[in-house]
Amino acid sequence: MLNLMEITESNKESLISELKGRVTETEQEIISSVNSILSRVKKDGDKALFELTKSFDKVELKTLEVSTFEIDECFNKVEKEFIEALEEAKANIKEYHEKQKSNGFLMTKDKGVYLGQRVLPLERVGVYVPGGTAAYPSSVLMNVIPAKVAGVDEIVMVTPPDKNGGINPYIGVAARIAGINKIYKVGGAQAVAALAYGTESIKKVDKIVGPGNIFVATAKKLVFGEVDIDMIAGPSEILVIADEKSNPCFVAADLMSQAEHDKLASSILITTSKELHKRVEMELERQVKTLEREEIIRTSLENFGSAIICRTIEECINISNSIAPEHLELMVDDPMKYLGMVRNAGSVFLGRYCPEPIGDYFGGTNHVLPTSGTARFFSPLSVDSFIKKSSFIYYSEEALMENGEKIITLASKEGLTAHANSVKVRLENGNV
């Protein structure tokens, strides 16, 4: 099912641009319709939210906020082993993200000068959580826990109500386990608008995170600047580097684990073994038939699946660095030996028993990762995503007297005499 390629400098480029080509421009029609939803919520607040929810979600709500009782009920509806697994995943994710916390600093210098940097949590964060069939409780943990660890005061969730005005019970459970302060039954562009501008029920936030459909993604792009947003995720990607000793059954399973997300998902095998590639193809055919999303997987692999044969693992990694995949599996012996060569990858899965879903659900690393080659310059969602930094500096009178002329020289050469003047007035009047 994979498109077999011999890599040269020229088709490496075309492979990379194909990956990026999967992201298409948002149609003007969608932008206009999202824009009109945004203005309506900005103007009419809750009233607009109730009306839009009636029209899109086919349900007439009386209140937006999910009650404590409703969340209690969610716990009665889901399996005990699900709750236990989620609690354990939470502990792993929290433990990992705690290590990401950074401290500010203070430097003291001669003549009483001091300067430094503070790390401050954002005050309010909104998390978008899709409802219906694309309800992913794991996403709730991945988006909320880093914000919690960062020290965000208030984390609210928005999620579309079902036709009975309820919410997905798995999402309700995940929200309480993650530590969400409030949940509102509202979805789509209208939910993003409520978080960005505030309404009577929903307070304006500083940042909106979480996945959503094209309307949600477009709304997030349009409110960016008014509030901060997370990355807009493109279709998922997995790149598996495997040697001749790799189990083709595992390799095939891992390639399909991302292919099932989306017909636009991309799964790439880079291997030193032609034999392995052949056996992986056989495994793909054998296993795909057993999977619920067979059709999506076939389409995705046929369009965006590739197999690349290299001479050495080092060469495999070089190609992977050019591609900068979201997920990279290093299915080799002693994988740590190669980690240092990996320059561009969102998250790296090491060894033969570390399939990518460990990172999606359980291991502790975040599953919100840069796609479409942006791992060249973007990072996974992390505690950093929920803090801001602020610098400060103190100069004593004595320190300004000593350094003032230099500052005046630099400002004057830039033609900024009012900048120079602010120092000058102090040098002149300093002793008045």
By annotation, the residues acting in catalysis are 326-327
Name the residue nearer to a copy of itself (CB basis): 107 or 214: 107
The nearer residue to a copy of itself, 7 or 387, going by C-beta atoms, is 387
Among 297, 307, 310, 323, contact with a copy of itself (rule: CB under 8 A): 297
- Is 385 annotated as a binding-site member? no
- Which is nearer to a copy of itself, 6 or 81 (by Cβ)? 81
Convert residues 180-219 into a mask of x (bound to a copy of itself by CB under 8 A) and - (unbound): --------------------------xx------------
Spatial distance between the Cα atoms of 411 and 63, rounded to a whole number of angstroms: 57
Question: 3-state DSSP call for residue 392?
Answer: strand
Residue 261 annotated as part of some ligand binding site: yes
Rounded to an integer, what distance in angstroms lies between the CA atom of residue 341 and that of residue 318? 8
- Under rule CB under 8 A, residue 88 binds a copy of itself: yes
Is 235 within 8 Å of 265 (Cβ atoms)?
A: yes
CB of 306 to a copy of itself, least distance (A): 18
Near a copy of itself by CB under 8 A: residue from 10, 292, 311, 431: 292
> If binding means CB under 8 A, how many residues of this protein chain bind a copy of itself?
127
Q: How far is the CB of 55 from a copy of itself (least distance, A)?
A: 27
Q: Kindly tell me which of 62 and 413 has the beta carbon lying closer to a copy of itself.
A: 413
The span of 45-53, 178-186, 273-281, 410-418 binding a copy of itself (CB under 8 A) equals: 410-418
Closest by CA to 34, choosing from 206, 229, 222, 228, is 222
Quickly tell me which residue has 């005061």 as its tokens: 153
Binding segment for a copy of itself (CB under 8 A), chosen from 189-197, 271-279, 302-310, 409-417, is: 409-417
Q: What φ, ψ does residue 67 adopt, rounded to 5°?
A: -80, 160
CA–CA distance, 212 with 218 (Å, rounded to integer): 9
Among 290, 306, 319, 331, binds a copy of itself (CB under 8 A): 290
117: left (phi over 0), alpha (psi -120 to 50) or beta: beta
- Among 16, 59, 253, 341, the residue binding a copy of itself under the rule CB under 8 A is 253
Closest approach of Cβ 64 to a copy of itself, in Å?
A: 23
| Contact between 238 and 270 (Cβ < 8 Å) | no
CA within 13 Å, CB half, 133: 1
Q: Which residues pair with 387 in a beta bridge?
A: 121
Q: Which of 150, 256, 270, 331: binder of a copy of itself (CB under 8 A)?
A: 256
In the complex, minimum distance from the CB of residue 54 to a copy of itself, in angstroms, rounded to a whole number: 28
Task: Tell me how far, at minimum, the Cβ of 344 lies from a copy of itself, in Å.
Answer: 8
Of these, 41, 122, 161, 196, which contacts a copy of itself (CB under 8 A)? Answer: 122
The annotation status of 236 as a binding-site residue, yes or no, is yes
List beta partners, residue 121. Answer: 387
Helices (H), 99-226: 137-150, 169-178, 188-197, 214-223
25 lines the binding site for a copy of itself (CB under 8 A): no
Residue ranges in 360-389 that form contacts with a copy of itself under rule CB under 8 A: 360-366, 372, 374-380, 382, 384, 388-389
Question: Per-residue contact track with a copy of itself, 317 to 356, x per CB under 8 A?
Answer: ------------------xx--x--xxxxxxxxxxxxxxx
Burial class, 241, CB count within 10 angstroms (exposed 0-12 / middle 13-18 / buried 19+): buried
Distance between CA 349 and CA 335 in Å, rounded? Answer: 9
Q: Does 431 bind a copy of itself (CB under 8 A)?
A: no
Q: b/e map of 114-142 (b: 16 or more CB within 10 Å)? A: eeeeebebbebbbbbbbbeeebbbbbbbb
Q: Is residue 282 within the footprint of a copy of itself (CB under 8 A)?
A: no
Q: Quote the tokens at residue 424.
A: 């000058």
Q: Is 418 in the site for a copy of itself (CB under 8 A)?
A: yes
From the CB of 62, what's the least distance to a copy of itself, in Å? Answer: 29
CA distances from 236 to 132, 141, 415 (A): 20, 19, 50
Question: Considering Cα of 158, then 163, then 166, then 170, what sign does the dihedral take?
Answer: negative
The binding site for Zn(2+) comprises 258, 261, 360, 419
